[in-house]
């Protein structure tokens, strides 16, 4: 049995693919609780505008699973993107340029933005979900993928782990 982490209940944004309908598990009183006090602002457009004059920086994506299913992970995948790109934009660029090493499925919610339901063929399935961490900040991101902007050399890590409510 692999170790599991206790994750505060207000961090869970998930989509279940095993249920008859998509399910968002939101146990929160307000958006302030969801973002742990962070102001996330408005979501950015999904694809960054890149022109010949755009200055690109290297950002990194990692993807790992604590589950027991066979899984093709990614370790420190370099992605060239504008300095203020969102995690969604970085993921779209990574998906386009890796040609199969990294791919994800998601849907857009008008309130919460892009919700990732699966990465590299491994899908949210209660009680297991994808959580996004910012390695440079040493913790889970405060905002969703449309609201989290990268700095040069940022490293974002998707971790598939068991969700255990903390009441």
- CATH number reported for the structural domain that contains residue 26 in this entry: 2.170.130.30
> Helix or strand or coil: residue 82?
strand
Tokens representing residue 17 in the block: 């693919």
Do the domain assignments include residue 2? no
Confidence of residue 143 (pLDDT cuts 50, 70, 90): confident
Do the domain assignments include residue 93? yes
Query: Can you give the pLDDT at residue 39?
Result: 60
Under 8 Å between Cβ of 16 and 133: no
Query: Can you give the pLDDT at residue 38?
Result: 53
Under 8 Å between Cβ of 65 and 71: yes
Do the domain assignments include residue 25? yes
Do the domain assignments include residue 154? yes
- CA dist 69 and 51 (Å) reads 41
Query: Can you give the pLDDT at residue 66?
Result: 94
Mean pLDDT of the chain: 76
**Residue 115: strand pairing partners:** 107
Tokens representing residue 105 in the block: 């499925």
**Residue 164: strand pairing partners:** 6
Q: Where are the alpha helices (DSSP H) in the chain?
A: 31-34, 87-98
Query: Can you give the pLDDT at residue 41?
Result: 66
Domain with 34, as residue range(s), is 7-39+54-166
Residues 13-62: tens digit of each pLDDT: 333 333 322 223 322 222 222 334 456 766 655 556 777 888 889 999 99
Please say whether the dihedral angle defined by the alpha carbons of residues 84, 86, 91 and 92, taken in this order, is positive or negative. Answer: negative
Number of domains present in the structure of the chain = 1
- CA dist 45 and 40 (Å) reads 14
């Amino acid at each position: 049995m692999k170790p599991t982490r206790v994750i505060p209940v207000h961090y869970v944004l998930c989509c279940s693919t095993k249920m008859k309908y998509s399910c968002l598990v939101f146990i929160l009183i307000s958006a302030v609780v969801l973002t742990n006090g962070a102001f996330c602002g408005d979501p950015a457009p999904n694809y960054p505008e890149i022109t010949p004059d755009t200055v690109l920086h290297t950002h990194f994506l990692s993807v790992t699973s604590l589950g027991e299913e066979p899984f093709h992970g990614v370790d420190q995948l370099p992605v060239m993107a504008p300095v203020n790109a969102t995690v969604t934009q970085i993921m779209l660029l990574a998906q386009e340029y890796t040609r199969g090493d990294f791919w994800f499925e998601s849907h857009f919610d008008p309130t919460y933005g892009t919700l990732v339901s699966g990465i590299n063929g491994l899908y949210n399935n209660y009680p297991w979900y994808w959580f996004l961490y910012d390695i440079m900040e040493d913790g889970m991101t405060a905002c969703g993928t449309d609201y989290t902007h990268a700095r040069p050399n940022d490293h974002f890590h998707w971790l598939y782990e068991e969700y255990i409510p903390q009441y």
